[in-house]
Copies of this chain bind each other. A is one copy, B any other.
Amino acid sequence: MDDPGPGLRTVHRLRALTVELDLLAASFAQRHGLHPTDLRALIALLDAAREGVPATPGRLGRELGVNSAGTTAVLDRLERLGLVRRTRDPHDRRRVLLEVTGRAVELGQGFFGPLIGEVAALVEGLSAAERAVVEGFLAAVREVVARHAEGDGNGNGNGDGDGDGDGRGGRDAEAE
């Protein structure tokens, strides 16, 4: 029962949150006859649709970290469930374009909707300053995680005390 510093305590809280979210996603997926990967794929496709990025099997597979064969299987399942439709790209007929159906959007809403609503309400109950703190924190953490994810192939030599010292520098690195 050590008492870690406030930093560690917060880290721990954050991790607990992600665990909770994962469990929720897994149980939701199972309840709808989906596998965790299917749900991840669906989310990626919904995101792409929302952002207007054309979705293809290749891109999806890369995002999911799944083989092309596996990607085909995922899409077969999603298509069989009526959540995704495959159409050939008229401009490059090697490609297949993926479009999510209305049903997929509904499903996504069913999963995220209430959750998003509550959390959003929670955020909107904060003052502007508080909100800025939270957003800055999230963006900063994500930036850290992304950096670690990149230096993945080898022994990342980052234990060297990057020294950041005060972690409040410029964040909001990028848009998603």
Contact surface of A with B, Cβ cutoff 8 Å = 1-14, 16-24, 26-28, 31, 51-52, 65, 113-126, 130-131, 133-135, 137-142, 144-146, 148-149, 152-154, 156, 158-168, 176
Per assembly, the copies of the chain total: 2
Docked CA distance A96–B145 (Å): 36
A14 — which chain B residues lie within 8 A by C-beta? 119, 138
Shortest CB-to-CB span from A78 to chain B, Å, is: 18
Complex Cα gap A50–B15 (Å)? 15
Q: Which 8 A-B pairs have the closest CB atoms?
A: A7-B120, A122-B167, A27-B154, A125-B167, A125-B166, A7-B123, A7-B124, A17-B142
Once bound together, how far apart are the Cα atoms of A138 and B139, in whole Å? Answer: 14
Determine if B18 and A123 form an interchain contact, defined as CB atoms under 8 angstroms apart. Answer: no
From B117, B152, B156, B176, A16 is in contact (CB under 8 Å) with B176
A144: chain B residues at CB < 8 Å are 115, 118-119, 122
14 further contact pairs, Cβ within 8 A, besides A17-B141, A17-B145, A31-B153: A2-B164, A3-B164, A7-B123, A10-B119, A10-B131, A11-B120, A14-B138, A17-B142, A19-B158, A20-B142, A31-B152, A118-B144, A119-B144, A125-B167
